[in-house]
Amino acid sequence: MIRTLLSHYFPVFPEVFVTLSTFVLMIYGLIRGEISYKMLQMGVKTVLFVAIILCFVVFKEPVSLFHGHYDISMATQLAKAAILFMVFILCFMGLPHFEREEIKQFEGPILIVFATLGMMSLVSASDFMTLFMGIEILSLSLYILVAIQHNKVQSSEAGLKYFILGALSTAILLYGISLLYGFSGTTDYEGIARALTDARLENAYAIWIAFVFILASFAFKVSVAPFHMWTPDVYEGSPTPITAFLASAPKFAVIFALLRLVENVIAPLLVSTYDLLIGLSIASMLLGAIAGLFQTNIKRLLAYSTISHMGYSLLGFLKLSPEGSTSIFFYLFTYALTSLGVFACILNLRRHGRLVEELRDLSGLAKENRLVACCLAILLLSFAGIPPFIGFFAKFLVFKTAVDGGFYITAGIGVVASVIAATYYLKVVKIMFFDELLSEGGSGRLDRHMTWQTVWVMVGVTIFVLTYLIYPDFLLSMISTVFKA
């Protein structure tokens, strides 16, 4: 019986492994205190690496577990592997920075892994209770991580803002779920979808309201306008590795969870609710593009960049098909990896031992550190969607999805927003390559020392962005095959 039970639940072994390993690492940290930090770094990276392998080893065929609350499929396993890979890169480059900034609390690495566990649960959720549990594990971990640099007022302020607004978004999500439960009598996706299909939807106003509340909560989690207000302040106030974390894996996980929710539950409503998705997409693309033009702080600029990119990713929802799902997955994965590369560049830029924060600090960077300047320029041009970088192909796919769905005006607005946003990316390139160096009598020159971890990530991501033109089929065909299966 034990063998049968183990074999039945074997597909969730990656989550079980991450959970048990996290508790072991947490107990070790409690016993050893701050002196355990180096060992915890190695332990966390080992756990993430093994979990990536397990995501593919344990999968045999699609299965629904825990009475339909948890789905395992090739798409969910690929998404989990992508999330674990992003977090592994983040820990590889970010945890040594914690040590340099004297943020040696052992809780930091542990909370990152807990957040990863929340994202893994979120990706496979097929019931609103499982979905809520995943979101809360992720959110509670992020609230603490944002404020972990407690000796800085900015970090504490960012954590408080994020917590208050995050609690509000959670309340909105729960209200939407309660309306759906009241209508269908269940919280699992299949039961709600069946109730929606059988009901006279033109009279079920509670369903439309529920969908609006749920979508608003998801919009907050991924920084979609007009629910973006927390993003610039939290990005600026957080420690830079945590900002990199916020901009990458959680965005990917929440959008993927929304994709599964839309496909499995809300599809019957989409004909009448496309206007909501279009409105959110257009607002995010335009606000992120225009507001970014006036930013002087690097992390605030990247916050508005995130807002615009989340708007582009919503274009993939305008045609529910394997091609649409592929475009969303591909866009988010390439965006998240490029974000990690950009933050790796920023982590390499220090003046008098402190990270640079203002755009003017990049003046003449190409004359001081050509490697960082070239890598950062390539990654920003990819963000702008300029060929032949991978960002161009990612944007092309989501625009094509919108056009195939008949949303020509929305796609056109996206192209215009992309052109506007390219202005501030090119502005940064101009500052690095054509402005004069900051004078020695002013702020002084940049430090020469760079950690090898951040250099590897920076160069590796840049090579990925550059070489996609030569080997374009592998990643895209793999994602496409998974969603067509």
DSSP string, 6-58: HHHSGGGHHHHHHHHHHHHHHHHHHHHGGGGHHHHHHHHHHHHHHHHHHHHHS
For 199-215, how does the pLDDT look when each residue is reduced to its tens digit (9 = 90+)?
A: 655 556 777 888 889 98
Residue with tokens 């475009």: 327
pLDDT confidence tier of residue 88, bands split at 50, 70 and 90: very high
β partners of residue 297: 358
Spell out the SS3 assignment of 399-456: HHHHHHCCCHHHHHHHHHHHHHHHHHHHHHHHHHHHCCCCCCCCCCCCCCCCCHHHHH
Specify the pairing of strand 63-65 against strand 70-72.
Answer: antiparallel
When pLDDT is averaged across residues 168-180 and rounded to a whole number, the result is 90
Of residues 22, 110, 6, the one with CA closest to residue 58: 6
When pLDDT is averaged across residues 449-462 and rounded to a whole number, the result is 86
Residue 3 above 60 pLDDT? no
When pLDDT is averaged across residues 152-165 and rounded to a whole number, the result is 85
Q: By mean pLDDT, which of 130-134, 183-187, 275-279 is the weakest?
A: 183-187
Contacts of residue 17, Cβ cutoff 8 Å, sequence gap at least 6: 47, 50, 51, 54
β partners of residue 65: 70
When pLDDT is averaged across residues 372-399 and rounded to a whole number, the result is 89
Q: Which amino acid is at 376?
A: L
pLDDT confidence tier of residue 342, bands split at 50, 70 and 90: very high
When pLDDT is averaged across residues 2-24 and rounded to a whole number, the result is 76
Of residues 52, 50, 70, the one with CA closest to residue 9: 70
Extract the tokens encoding 375.
């890598």
pLDDT score for 8: 61
Q: By mean pLDDT, which of 170-179, 243-252, 434-443, 474-483 is the weakest?
A: 434-443
Let me know: does 370 contact 382? Beta carbons within 8 Å.
Answer: no
Percent of the chain's residues with pLDDT above 90: 26
**Torsion sign (Cα): 270, 274, 280, 286:** positive
Residue 442 above 50 pLDDT? no
Of residues 222, 55, 210, the one with CA closest to residue 138: 222
For 31-44, how does the pLDDT look when each residue is reduced to its tens digit (9 = 90+)?
A: 876 666 778 888 88
Let me know: does 12 contact 51? Beta carbons within 8 Å.
Answer: no
pLDDT score for 35: 67
Q: What is the pTM of this model?
A: 0.92
Residue 379 above 90 pLDDT? yes
Residue 441 above 50 pLDDT? no
When pLDDT is averaged across residues 286-298 and rounded to a whole number, the result is 89
For 307-330, how does the pLDDT look when each residue is reduced to its tens digit (9 = 90+)?
A: 999 999 999 888 878 888 888 999
> What rounded mean pLDDT belongs to the chain?
84
pLDDT score for 201: 52
pLDDT score for 5: 52
